Amino acid sequence: MTAAERLLRYVQFDTQSNEFSDTCPSTDKQKALALALVEEMRAMGISDAYMDAEGYVYGTVPGDPAKPVIGLIAHMDTAPDASGANIHARIVPYEGGDIVLNEAERIVMKEADFPSLTRNRGKHLIVTDGTTLLGADDKAGVAEIMTALEQIIAEGTPHGDIWVGFTPDEEVGKGADLFDLDYFEADFAYTVDGDYEGEVAYENFNAASAEFTIKGVNVHPGEAKDIMVNAALVGCEIAAALPANETPATTEGREGFYHLCDMSGDVASAHLSYIVRDHDKALFAKRLDTLRSLEIEMNKKYGEGTVSLTITHSYENMLSIIMDNMYIIDLAKAAIEENGLKPLSRPVRGGTDGARLSFMGLPCPNLGTGGYGFHGPFEHISVEGMETAVNIIKSIVKHVLMLADA
C-alpha cells in the first residue's frame, strides 16, 4: 500500500482533539484510529504493537542490537481549527492555476494565495472539498512512517532497532504529556510532521496558552452609571491593548505573536483564549509579562477580581537541545540529498511533539511530509512528496547504520 493510499484511508477517521478537555486522549474517537494502526502494524509483522490506556501507540521493528536505536513519531489527532469529520478527499493532477474545491459552494484554492501550489506543478495533489481540513497534519506523517516500515520489513533492509510512536493530542499541546520514554528506548528520534519533504527542522517556537476570564457587573441599563462593568467590552479592551502588528497575519520567520483564538461573552461574563509564540526566549517571557500587566491594569481600573489570567506553558524551542546532537541533523540532511532534494532547515512557526520530547531527554527534530496549508480547508499534499518522504525515512535508517560503522 502506498503512503497516499494510507492517508486516504486514515482521514476517514475523525480524530479532532479538544483543547478544553481534561482527559487523555482529549477525544475518545482518536482511539479508533489508534486501534486500526495497531492492527495494521501487527499484520505487517510488528508483533508488539499496542495502544496504551491513554491512546498512545507503540511498536518496534527489531534489528541489530549493536546499532544505534532510532525512533519515528507522528501524531494522530487533527486540529480543532476546522472540522475533521466527513472528509471528502480526492487526488487532482495539477498543472497550475486555481483549483475549484467545491463548485456548489464556490470554494476555490488560489495559486496566488498558496505558493506551494506553484512548487507542486506537474504533481498529483490530494485536496478536500473545501468544507473540512484534510488531516495530512499529521496523518500524512503516520502514513509515511507506516509505509516506510512496511517496505523496510518486506525488503529485508538492514537496520538497528526501530521504535515507533503515534501520539494523541499534539494539536492541543499535550501530545508528549504521557509519552512513555521509560518504555520507548530510542537513542534519538524524528517526528514526521512538517511541510516541505526536504525539510529537517530543529528550531521552533516557545509556546504558551493564555486564558482571560472576565466577571462583569450586570444591572439594568437605565440605572447602570458608575455601576455596570460590561465584561464583553473589557474583553475588547484587552484585545485592543495588544499590538495589532504582532498577530499571525502580520508576522513571519522568527517574529513572535499573540493569537486570539476564541472570544465570547456578554455583560456578565466573557472569555478570551490566546496562544502566545516567540522563538526568542527573552522576548517570549516579555510577551507573557505583557499579559500579566494587562490583568493587573484591568483589575485596577474595574475592580479586583474582574479579570483573571491563566497561563499554561506548552513547549520550548528545541534548538538548545539539538545543538548538542547535530549528528542527527547531518543524518537527515544526507538522506534528503540522497533523494535529490536540497535540505532546508528554517525556524518552525509552530511546534511538534519533538520539541517537548527533546526537553524530556529524547532529541527529536522534525521531518517534512510534503503537505501544506495545514489546519484549514485548503490543506493539500502531493502524492509524489509523500513518496519522497517515505524514501527519506528509509535513507535515514540506512545512514544510521553507516554512522555506527564509521
Q: Are 240 and 174 in contact (CB under 8 A)?
A: no
Rounded to an integer, what distance in angstroms lies between the CA atom of residue 263 and that of residue 235?
Answer: 8
Instruction: Report the C-alpha gap between 272 and 330 in whole angstroms.
Output: 43
**Cα 125 to Cα 81: distance, rounded to the nearest angstrom:** 22
Choice among 54, 138, 169, 170 that is catalytic = 170
- Residue 77 bears catalytic tag: yes
Close Cβ partners of 292 (under 8 Å, ≥ 6 residues apart):
309, 311
Query: Which residues lie below 8 Å from residue 133, measured CB to CB, with a gap of 6+?
Result: 78, 79, 81, 82, 83, 84, 87, 374, 375, 376, 377, 379
Cell of 331: 543524518
Which residue type does 213 have?
A: T
Catalytic residue among 14, 77, 161, 353: 77
| 98: annotated active-site residue | no
Using CA atoms, how far apart are residues 366 and 200, in angstroms rounded to an integer? 5
Q: Please give the positions annotated as active site.
A: 77, 170
